[in-house]
Amino acid sequence: MAARIATDGVPTASAARGAVRAGTVRSFARYRRQRAAKTLVRLTAALLAAIAVVAGLLFGLGRLAHWGPFTPGIPEATYSADSWNTIVVNQWQRIPDDWPAPDLTQLANGQQIDSRAYPDLQRMFDAMRADGLNPEVTAGYRTHDEQQQLLDDKIFLYENNGMDAKDAEAKARLQVALPGTSEHELGVAADINAVGASDADANQRVYDWLATNAWEYGFILRYPAGKTSVTGVEHEPWHYRFVGAEAAKAIHESGIALEEYQP
């Protein structure tokens, strides 16, 4: 009898397992909550993976095709205070953040140019007038906003003539620099035409004179014919850039663009 009583006091293995199962029974509501949580985790993981794929594609487009929100910024041009006159800005390198605001001289028609270039510009214009020409600076210094407006107007013109937006912008940027990459924002560039700029023959005479003589006054034809692949800009016979006497002589004699000049 005693042995039987002792045996009755110890739970059997099957009874113990039943007790464990009874203690872990879940309610249906709890089961639904757990399933919903697992589903949410899986959906979140899938969403994050999709975002990573899209971001990777956009990043690749930006770096390789230069399109989209991850398009790399245009690098800054490099310069020193001693070589301010030969700084190169174009579609591949922008005006550096530390480029100082130019000290400008205002011309008789309201245009402005860097005061360091003004004496040589005046000497050149005096020589042109002595040769029977009547030149004027039709575009000198421009602000960033003025350059943006000029580009927007050119894009609108091409779109209005039936070009799609992408082609219109591409063509406009061959003729008008992107704001931040224009020499006009430096203050050392000048578009030079005959006064009034409406007489094609008078303009051509000005261009011919400049092409032959401007280098003697420290100015170069900035966008020569046949150099678009180097400069990124189509030929502009009116656009002259002050680089100083030494650089102008070397560039003129070698027939190179400013991008190719090695001091």
**Residues with catalytic function:** 236
Cα dihedral value 177, 105, 239, 123, nearest 10: -160
Return the structure tokens found at 200.
């094609």
CA 138 – CA 196 distance, rounded (Å):
9
User: Would you say 90 and 176 are in contact if contact means Cβ atoms under 8 Å apart?
Assistant: no
Those residues with Cβ within 8 angstroms of residue 140's Cβ, 6 or more apart along the chain or in another chain:
107, 111, 112, 113, 184, 187, 189, 190, 191
Question: Strand, coil or helix: what is 250?
Answer: helix
Give the Cα-Cα-Cα angle 180, 183, 184 (nearest 5 degrees): 90
